[in-house]
Amino acid sequence: MSETLIEDTPNGEALRGEARPGAVHDTFTVPDRDARFPYMASPSELSTYHRKGFGLRAEVQEHLAADYDGGIVDYLRANEFTLTAGDVTVRLAREFGFCYGVERAVEYAYQTRRKFPDRRLFLVGEIIHNPHVNARLREMGIEVLMPTDGAFDFSGIRQDDVVIMPAFGVTIQDFERLRGIGCVLVDTTCGSVLNVWKRVDGYARDGYTALIHGKHYHEETRATASQVLKHPGGRYLVVRDMGEVDLVCEYLAGRGEREAFLAHFAPAISPGFDPDRDLVKIGVANQTTMLASESLAIAETVGRAIEQARGAAARGTDFRSFDTICSATQERQDAVTALLDEGVDVMIVVGGYNSSNTISLAMLCAERVPTYHVESPEAIEPGPNLVRYRLPQKHHDEATASPWLQAGPVRVGLTAGASTPNSKIGEAVERILATRGLTAGV
């Protein structure tokens, strides 16, 4: 199977050519179309399928800027990512907020509304994990379909409707159902996600079980796992963290109990999964928004377990690994680590409570300083010096802290997940300063 370079450019065109050194992180490789990736079908192959936008970028830019840009963020960028008012210094991580894939997905949704002003528009789940953005799309008349027990109901969709697929992608099964209806499909799947699909497709084709570091219920991971099932005998296993990887390694070492293993991983394995058969050859991949250091550690741990169980030769033949953390996720994690190294007293992380990459950022920060993951700036209440936040951990629990901003000179670190618009980052800065009775003055 040969590979071509697909690079989505700002005007929605696609550039094709040989992979080159130093390509930007928004560049990704995908298999040729004969590798059963219907998402990449050309217009001649599927006339109702659109992945390149509608050439309306200029027409929607004013609306996008009004909804999501922020002057305070512009000021921070121009001033070494630092704003000082009184004895409060706010430091913004140098990589933050909307990534290219998110910008592209949101822009394509706006283009779709402009292209089809009189059609019914549907979105398969949230386009990204940010409540403000999804609320804005609803205001534009785009109906967001939400799953029930993990399944979408497409019974109300007609052939003349338009359906937008989110940045996370959709499962092969849902794609085929929508294609069968004959409606217009607008695909905003992120290129980094397509790159993961390529990897697990290759694993399944070559007889390896795809071990995916991710959340089995997450839209992206569900879509990724579905790619495996295109192949006869394709198998997957989703592991949430190192604790679950330890269970896999125990089984590889011959110390696991079959029924207990299957019961534990029941919602996270492919139909008919047999650990005695399906843990012989393993290929590791990951949900693109997981904590990078954990994904790398998981791959190394699984490879080492195979070697300890069956020897170095088995590790060479029966184990594959490829880091599929997207570079935007990695850049945001690296940037916040650099900010922590420079020294802050407290961190505010802005992003949806269901945003995996934001949760990863908050957990990374919490290892070093008190950290408050807020879903929106409104969670910071200046009057009572109070913040409502999600605890920086894997499981969802919320709490309230008051006072959260201590007296005296303070350095507040700030970052935001890849689905958080600049406007909300700026509002968070305003509320941080207002807690001390200060204004940004920009």
The residues annotated with a catalytic role in the active site are 220
Q: How many CB atoms lie within 10 A of CB 371?
A: 22
| 69 contact partners, CB below 8 Å, separation of at least 6 | 421, 422, 423
Taking the mean position of all CA atoms in its chain, how far away is CA 167?
A: 8
Q: How many CB atoms lie within 10 A of CB 15?
A: 11
| H or E element at residue 124 | strand 121-124
| 100 contact partners, CB below 8 Å, separation of at least 6 | 8, 25, 26, 328
* Cα-Cα end-to-end distance for the chain: 54
CA nearest 347: which of 332, 363, 329, 331?
Answer: 363
How far apart (Å, rounded) are the C-alpha atoms in residues 418 and 435? 26
User: CA quadruple 117, 122, 124, 127: dihedral positive or negative?
Assistant: positive
CB 39 within 8 A of CB 169: yes
Q: Enter the DSSP assignment of 231.
A: S
Peptide bond into 403 cis (omega under 30): yes
| H or E element at residue 347 | strand 346-350
Dihedral, CA of residue 326, residue 329, residue 335 and residue 341, to nearest 10 = -110
3-class secondary-structure state, position 43: coil
How far apart (Å, rounded) are the C-alpha atoms in residues 42 and 165? 17
CA nearest 244: which of 222, 220, 223, 261?
Answer: 261
Residues in the chain: 442
CA nearest 126: which of 419, 427, 345?
Answer: 419
Which amino acid is residue 110, in one-letter code? Y
In sequence order, the β-bridge partners of residue 163 are: 122, 185
